[in-house]
């Protein structure tokens, strides 16, 4: 079966040919200067929004100091959200109240706390479960799985399965040598024809068979 067209807005169809508008191919629906999404990554939402960027990363405004970077072939379930660094309140003072967002003349007193905010980076082939929450500055490694309702407060290793609040590593998906093999292959960067040919191996229980 050939890979779907990466430029499609809604890449999934039901058996009767009806387009599933709850699933959106993110590179086709997000046009935001602070968000980069790799080919074939999608999100699912049972109340599909007009603005997918605002739904997924509601605190990330155009021109913010930080970025959200999502790799290729990521799968983002309903309710998953990215709380990016601009959502934080300055914490070094006696109060965390954000006076400056209501009175821009107060910005000078606050700007030092927001000049260098960390990016949030999601690797390739990452699955974010229903209602997962990814907090500012987190890096989620390639091939990781984030359980439903997890709150990710720290970096997640490649091919780890994490769950809970705060999210913790439950197990690794593969042995270290298999993880190293997959990272070396970088199959997500292959041309579509090669990925199509490798699909049986990609979905099998023996990823080490990939070459």
Phi and psi at 19, nearest 5°, equal -75, 135
d(CA 7, CA 35): 17
3 state SS for 25-47: EHHHHCCCCCEEECCCCEEECCC
Structure tokens at 51: 């603005």
d(CA 139, CA 6): 25
Helices (H), the chain: 26-29, 52-56, 99-102, 107-110, 176-185, 192-202
A 10 A CB-CB count for 167 gives: 25
Our answer to whether residue 89 is catalytic in this structure is yes
**Which is the catalytic residue, given 25, 78, 89, 181?**
89
d(CA 188, CA 182): 10
Inter-CA distances, 134 with 52, 110, 202, Å: 16, 25, 27
Q: Which residues carry out catalysis?
A: 89
């Amino acid at each position: 079966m050939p890979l779907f067209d990466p430029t499609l807005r809604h890449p999934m169809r039901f058996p009767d040919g009806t387009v599933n508008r709850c699933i959106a191919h993110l590179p086709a629906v997000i046009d935001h200067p602070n968000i980069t999404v790799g080919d074939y990554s999608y999100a699912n939402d049972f109340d599909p929004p007009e603005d997918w960027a605002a739904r997924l990363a509601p605190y990330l405004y155009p021109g913010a100091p930080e970025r959200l970077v999502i790799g290729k072939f990521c799968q983002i379930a309903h309710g998953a959200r990215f709380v990016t660094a601009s959502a934080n309140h300055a914490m070094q003072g006696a109060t965390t109240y954000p006076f400056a967002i209501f009175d821009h003349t107060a910005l000078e007193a606050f700007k030092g706390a927001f000049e260098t905010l960390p990016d949030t980076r999601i690797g390739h082939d990452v699955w974010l479960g229903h209602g997962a929450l990814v907090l500012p500055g987190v890096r989620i490694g390639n091939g990781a799985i984030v359980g439903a309702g997890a709150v990710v407060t720290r970096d997640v290793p490649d091919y780890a399965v994490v769950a809970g609040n705060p999210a913790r590593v439950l197990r690794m998906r593969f042995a270290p040598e298999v993880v190293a093999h997959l990272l070396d292959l970088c199959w997500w960067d292959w041309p579509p024809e090669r990925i199509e040919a490798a699909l049986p191996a990609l979905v099998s229980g023996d990823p080490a068979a990939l070459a």
